[in-house]
Amino acid sequence: MYGDDRTEWVGDSYYYYSRPRIVDATPDYLRLLFDEQKRHPGYRALLDTNISIFGTIDDHDYGVNNGDNTFPWRRENTIEYVRFLGISEDSAMFRRAALGKGVYGVQVYDFERAIDSRTLSDEEAGLDPDVIDKNDNNNNSDRHNESPEEPKGKNRKVAVFVLDIRTNRTPWQQRIPDRFFTDIEGDFLGEEQWKWFETALGRSDAAVNIVVTGLQVHAERYFDPNVIENWHGFEKSQHRLYQALLQSNVQAPILISGDVHKAQLMRKDCSYYQPRHHQHHTPGMDSTSPRRIRPLYEITTSGMTHSWGTKPCGRANGNPLCHSLYHKTVCRLVLQFAHKICPWTELLLSRDDDDDDDARASKSRLQYSLELNVAELDFDWEDESVSVNILGVDGKNMLEQKWSFRDLTESRTTMVQPSEFDMIRDRRIQSKIIMEDSNEWICVSHRGIPNQYWYAIGTILPMTVGMIFMTLPFWLPFVVCLHWTRKLYTRRSQYRDGSKNNRNSRKTKVE
């Protein structure tokens, strides 16, 4: 659902100075769209299953593309959204939205319980700091400390945290050249939401912890976040999120994101860095030995209504480019080309988690899809694993991975070189993101840091190819006409020269 799907003409004169402008969504208009969505037969059928609906906003259901904390309807539109979700007005999540703090919260599901009682209340879950009285923190801590004594396999809780990256987000830099560099001090969540999230996640004893955010976290896609947004645009916020997710008590963390109109499965490898004077040499190990790390996976799933492989435009407007078969094909081919050439080393390969090197080499392919998609997580509590399936139209399985809870939590081998972790850490120190003597997690794309020249070529070349072929129908006819005009002119000139020569020849013979 796109709240900012209307346009209006602005200017002094319709014929000479006017131009179309996208109109931001007001609360009244957003309410109309949400009511229309509720009447959609497919969505009504979904609601009739009594499935648990939970989520958070991104820019278009916030009401403005790439929205931030300067949006005038930030409070009113978030209230309309939580009402659309069916969130009770007595809940902490609704109260936060009503106060203009944003749409964020946590929902815990206990699969050890019967189906009709698996969704825990905030009081039962004991995670939300705005619900659990600070005076009862000691009792809450004691209750969570009892969980390790429970029989193995009995912890079947899944905690789903949803974060609002719009209501409190710092605006992107607009000036050139500032917009082409990461904004170190920029923030996504706001300090109050950060403290809420770090506290709630720190209390979690769930077997799996899922964190949902509108924008991609691992991706470092483009030099201008005004064009393609991601968490790397605010590097300090990205680093802080990694520290929260990799707390020692957080079991099996998984990131889920959207926004980019395609599906991707990504991984970063994170090493808990100890300052050099704290490191001890291990016999038989050298600087080239593989380092044990914690992996951090991200599932990007979008969208259910349009994608780069089906329809490039999100708004239902009359723009002919949105419905042109040629431009749809070009978008698909350019995005496929970009995945092949761009240094997106955080993308998984189909056999990245297979211990059989031969199988990995024979079947490896990038884990992405440009089709309409939705992600499904299937928990196997006996096997203690989670299967991730990216489903397309009619339930077609386009991408799949299977991760054990242990693999998501405990350290593993990595292809990242120790020097690459050191390189990222040095960048963090130079940018004042961390202090030189700090012990913090450093996360690197699991297939290594791309060469800077490869990054430049991989960024510029797909954009150039896309621009050429997207505009081809406009300039090619002009070039063809120019070519034939020049050719006709040349022939005519040759004909005139030939006729003149013939006349001169006849005149010479007569003389």
What is the DSSP annotation of 6-46?
EEEEESS-TTTT-EEEEEPPPHHHHHHHHHHHHHSHHHHHH
Q: How far apart are CA 87 and CA 79, in angstroms?
A: 10
Q: How far apart are CA 170 and CA 191, in angstroms?
A: 12
Q: How far apart are CA 370 and CA 264, in angstroms?
A: 9
Whether the pLDDT of residue 306 is over 80: the answer is yes
User: Per-residue pLDDT averaged across 115-137, rounded?
Assistant: 83
Greater confidence (509 vs 425) lies with 425
- Residue 120's pLDDT is what? 94
- Cis preceding linkage at 462, omega within 30: no
- Residue 449's pLDDT is what? 92
Per-chain mean pLDDT for the chain = 84
Say if CB 427 and CB 419 are below 8 A apart.
Answer: no
Q: How far apart are CA 401 and CA 44, in angstroms?
A: 31
Amino acid at residue number 209: N
Exposure of 439 in the CB half-sphere (CA atoms within 13 A): 8
Whether the pLDDT of residue 351 is over 90: the answer is no
Q: How confident is the model at residue 274 (pLDDT cuts 50, 70, 90)?
A: low
Pull the structure tokens for residue 1: 């659902």
Burial 179-188 (b: 16+ CB within 10 A, else e): beebbeebbb
Q: How confident is the model at residue 224 (pLDDT cuts 50, 70, 90)?
A: confident
In tens, the pLDDT along 309-345 reads 988 776 656 667 777 888 889 999 999 999 999 999 9
User: Per-residue pLDDT averaged across 229-243, rounded?
Assistant: 94
Provide, for the chain, the percentages of residues in helix, strand and coil under a 3-state DSSP scheme, each rounded to the nearest 5: 40, 15, 45
Residues in the chain: 511
Say if CB 234 and CB 226 are below 8 A apart.
Answer: no
Q: How far apart are CA 346 and CA 449, in angstroms?
A: 9
Cα–Cα–Cα angle for 273, 277, 281, rounded to 5 degrees: 80
In tens, the pLDDT along 45-98 reads 999 998 889 999 999 999 999 999 999 999 999 999 999 999 999 999 999 999
| Residue 138, helix vs strand vs coil | helix
In terms of DSSP bridges, do strands 208-212 and 157-162 run parallel, antiparallel, or are they unpaired?
Answer: parallel
Residue in 294, 325, 299, 296 with CA at minimum distance from that of residue 312: 325
Q: What is the pTM of this model?
A: 0.87
Whether the pLDDT of residue 281 is over 50: the answer is no
How far apart, in Å, are the Cα atoms of 462 and each of 264, 304, 325, 340, 476?
Answer: 18, 25, 20, 10, 20
Domains and CATH numbers, the chain: 24-278+288-475 (3.60.21)
In tens, the pLDDT along 421-452 reads 999 999 999 989 988 888 899 999 999 998 88
In tens, the pLDDT along 170-205 reads 999 888 887 777 888 899 999 999 999 999 999 999
Residue in 470, 511, 476 with CA at minimum distance from that of residue 335: 470
Question: Which uninterrupted H or E stretch holds 441?
Answer: strand 441-445
- Residue 276's pLDDT is what? 53
- Residue 357's pLDDT is what? 43
Q: How far apart are CA 252 and CA 386, in angstroms?
A: 10
